[in-house]
Amino acid sequence: MRRSAIKRTAMRRGVARSWNSTLNAVSPKRILVNREWAKLSREHRQREPWCAWCGEKATQVHHRWSRGQSGPAIVPHKMLLSLCARHHDLIHHTQPGRVLARERGWILKASEGKRELEALQGVTHA
């Protein structure tokens, strides 16, 4: 099978999906949430600069209550955990990592996350 002579380029964030589309790749609401999350993540890594698992420099921030389980994107710092990339991947992509994280309280079920967030409602992000 011959490949097309058309040059293939990677799509850039925020660029319309096709030449005749008026839709943005990222919605304006999502852009605002992403900016807020970037700020909160940076603040959290300044407050807790070390990986909670191994003690190395933290490069990522983990939501204890997964956004995929209807958890909110912007939460109090107590609902976040600083991790190095290796251990963040371990938690999300391996069964033993998930089991250990659940035992340590680093992953919450939706009902647990909702309960904990309600208990922290008086806590601000600062």
Domain membership of residue 93 (yes or no) is: yes
Q: Which pair of tokens denotes residue 105? A: 């309280």
Confidence tier at 58 by pLDDT (50, 70, 90): very high
Domain membership of residue 74 (yes or no) is: yes
Are the C-beta atoms of 36 and 74 separated by less than 8 Å?
yes
Q: pLDDT at residue 36 above 80? A: yes
**27-49 mean pLDDT:** 92
Domain membership of residue 17 (yes or no) is: no
Q: Residue 53's domain spans which residues?
A: 28-119
Domain membership of residue 95 (yes or no) is: yes
Backbone φ, ψ for residue 96 (5° rounding)? -60, -35
Alpha-carbon span 61 to 69, nearest angstrom? 17
**83-93 mean pLDDT:** 95
Q: pLDDT at residue 13 above 70? A: no
Domain membership of residue 39 (yes or no) is: yes
Alpha-carbon span 123 to 126, nearest angstrom? 8
pLDDT higher for 40 or 6? 40
Domain membership of residue 10 (yes or no) is: no
Domain membership of residue 3 (yes or no) is: no
What local confidence, expressed as pLDDT, does residue 66 receive? Answer: 78
User: How many domains does the chain contain in total?
Assistant: 1
Domain membership of residue 9 (yes or no) is: no
